[in-house]
Chain A
């Protein structure tokens, strides 16, 4: 395997292919940078070009792009509090407060470096799991997948903020929004009000932008302020890099979380950043997550890049795409004359290995490129709101429209956006809503399949019990921690 890896390395480093990788990286960063455009759009854009291409060239292009989207999307998340793609929502939680304190450059330095490390770990993980992929994937049957969605939902408990009531209610709204459209168990349409648009359900990029971007736009205008009130931008990118180096264990831990969540087929990986953030919040000592703790940026950024490596495993070896992006990647492989399946580790092993190398290199180059862009781009945070907002709005409208090219996208954007705005001014936590929305479909699907297939027997599966214990520890631990912090607060220390 090592030999073939070296052989694949020479294939990847061939200058004619390297150019395509850089082209992919460039497009990936732009797509990540523009709010609303996600990997699916980037893939759809490149798809017409890969037809009949030499597979290695096509892979350099496609994987180069996929690898760095989660790097480039940090810019809007930190600078404006708007998720660049749905994979970097958790970065906002601490990245935006940091930008408000004038530490945008530092936050992004840390973010890009963690992205780099996370991405490389993801690539290595892909390489290392190739021999064990099959038993690992078949370990997760529907009951286990259901418990994993429950684990994801329990993160809402950690992110609920001050009021548990508000947190749970927000999560329930998210679950309800996720129930719009066709039911998994029977193709019956729910809450569609006779509109064909709603039969497909709401799309994640639209909901994510509505819930985060719309409120920001309005508050930026009403408060007539810049993102940062700090007169001078303090701290350079290098400082951020050093901070992430100091937190190397957090970085590695989050990357592992990212790989695992990306790897499990059926979870989709859209909650990777939240789960990594939640775990970080839980495991980092003396943290001030949510108020501008740089470690709250490191954890999700490392995880969301690592996820890509993890999600390649089910996509390539089993033909199970975990997300819209990987689904199109599968189509692209077909156009290049390749088929996903076990052949990817036998006859087409060199293709798989070249994907590993491309992931590693694209993550390194992408992060370096972003680090160089920090200085010019972070000036955005010093421009006053009413000058940025109109342009932002144009971008958001375009971005929202791309998710299904329908007017429904724009209507949903405004309606949910208004809801999100009210939540913002009344201090309702928004992350639980998003997590509920993302996991609604899987939760319903795997609950239904578990019951229909096994009755209630599945409750006693060993893995199910283990996951249940983990969830309990997370939830009760959270409550205890919260009570403790309340005690401290009421004791007069702040």
Chain B
């Protein structure tokens, strides 16, 4: 009987100790000095999405390249189309440099447009590494020919299948506005995959896909003659100009299409708003941040690590697939790009807000 009692108490003790284990690691994590041995990437999406894959892709390289080879883990905080997790990072995560945020265009656009549920400020964060993405607008071969001849000649609107006017679609929609294209946006599809299928079955005849989806799923269509690219959304260079997408050097930008059609360079508020959105949503499609209040040496360690990652041969090789072949941005160049992208002029902001309200019945300040 005594033996039994002893055995039970031992088991119980083990249980209690094991139960305490996560608590102790949690507790002491916050007391460690700047050279953290555990870095946490906060990803404001469920596991498996594009941003999550992006974050996970970087974890081994952060571990390799950072001084002291820290362990790196990913913490997913899904909800609110990335706003929940980003808010939580900004408000509640320790500001000691041990927690990093992986943001994407889904957090950038609501921030720029002053969506009311946004409780984070990218001005209070320091960018560590940023990665671009591109997009290509395409149509059917017949419509593409007509487009190239005279894009104002469409009597019947082109049907565009999109997801939501306040997401990445916004950039594409603005590009149509810049060009003054006659189109009818049907928004409400479940994702870019379904919208592409809608194009394939003829439900829409104007669509865009981001780089890897375009290369994998639309290029075959172009090859067998059922689709034709019109232009790429472009990238913003360090001087704030729209340039051709390095992944699609053969495709014109919106600016070139405009000059070709109207004989002059695009100007005006819509054009400025478009460039700004391309910068924040595409050139800075995904960014890894750390709290600005983190210790200086901790930020320096992360930034040095980022430079190291950029040079890493293994990283460059694998980045072909996951980062779609774009070069990552780090250091001052990244900071400069971000300053430019997130300083939205009030007139651009008002223009987009008014546009969404008028055309899509969407009051973004109320969201």
Residues of A near any B CB (own CB < 8 A): 40, 43-44, 47-48, 51-52, 134, 137-142, 182, 184-189, 196-197, 199-200, 265-266, 314, 318-321, 324, 327-332, 334-335, 337, 339-343, 404-406, 445, 448-449, 452-453
Name the 5 nearest CB pairs between A and B, nearest first.
A328-B48, A341-B216, A320-B193, A44-B47, A331-B48
Say which residue of B164, B196, B204 sits within 8 Å of A187 (CB atoms).
Answer: B164
Shortest Cβ distance from residue A187 to the other chain B in the assembled complex, whole angstroms: 5
Contact yes or no, A335 B186, CB < 8 A: no
Alpha-carbon separation in the docked complex, A266 to B46 (Å): 19
Contact yes or no, A188 B56, CB < 8 A: no
Alpha-carbon separation in the docked complex, A166 to B166 (Å): 39
Contacts of A406 in B (CB 8 A): 79, 84
Contacts of A330 in B (CB 8 A): 48
Q: A44-B46, A186-B362 are in contact. Are A339 and B321 (CB under 8 A)?
A: yes
Contact yes or no, A335 B322, CB < 8 A: yes
Say which residue of B49, B56, B191, B216 sits within 8 Å of A335 (CB atoms).
Answer: B56
Which residue of chain A is the closest to B221 with respect to CB atoms? A342
Which residue of chain A is the closest to B215 with respect to CB atoms? A339
* Contact of B83 with A by CB under 8 A: yes
Alpha-carbon separation in the docked complex, A43 to B81 (Å): 21
Contact yes or no, B362 A188, CB < 8 A: yes
Contact yes or no, A334 B53, CB < 8 A: yes
Shortest Cβ distance from residue B210 to the other chain A in the assembled complex, whole angstroms: 11
Shortest Cβ distance from residue A263 to the other chain B in the assembled complex, whole angstroms: 13
Q: A196-B87, A335-B322, A405-B77 are in contact. Are A340 and B216 (CB under 8 A)?
A: yes
* Contact of B78 with A by CB under 8 A: yes
Contacts of A324 in B (CB 8 A): 46, 48
Say which residue of B57, B77, B188 sits within 8 Å of A448 (CB atoms).
Answer: B188
Alpha-carbon separation in the docked complex, A48 to B41 (Å): 13
Contact yes or no, A189 B367, CB < 8 A: yes
Residues of B near any A CB (own CB < 8 A): 46-50, 52-53, 56-57, 60, 74, 76-81, 83-84, 87, 117, 159, 164-167, 186-191, 193-194, 196-198, 200-204, 212-213, 215-217, 220, 318, 321-322, 360-362, 367
Shortest Cβ distance from residue B367 to the other chain A in the assembled complex, whole angstroms: 7
Alpha-carbon separation in the docked complex, A341 to B192 (Å): 13
Contacts of A185 in B (CB 8 A): 187-188
Which of B74, B193, B200 is most buried by chain A, counting CB atoms within 10 A of its CB? B193
Contact yes or no, A51 B166, CB < 8 A: no
Contact yes or no, A182 B48, CB < 8 A: no
Alpha-carbon separation in the docked complex, A223 to B57 (Å): 53
Could you write out 27 A-B pairs with CB less than 8 Å apart?
Answer: A43-B47, A43-B48, A47-B56, A48-B74, A51-B60, A138-B197, A138-B201, A182-B81, A184-B188, A187-B367, A188-B362, A196-B79, A196-B80, A196-B83, A197-B80, A200-B79, A200-B81, A314-B193, A318-B196, A318-B197, A334-B321, A335-B56, A341-B216, A404-B79, A445-B189, A449-B203, A453-B203
Contact yes or no, A452 B367, CB < 8 A: no
Contacts of B191 in A (CB 8 A): 320
Contact yes or no, A319 B189, CB < 8 A: no
Shortest Cβ distance from residue A433 to the other chain B in the assembled complex, whole angstroms: 23
Which residue of chain B is the closest to A325 with respect to CB atoms? B48
Alpha-carbon separation in the docked complex, A67 to B243 (Å): 47
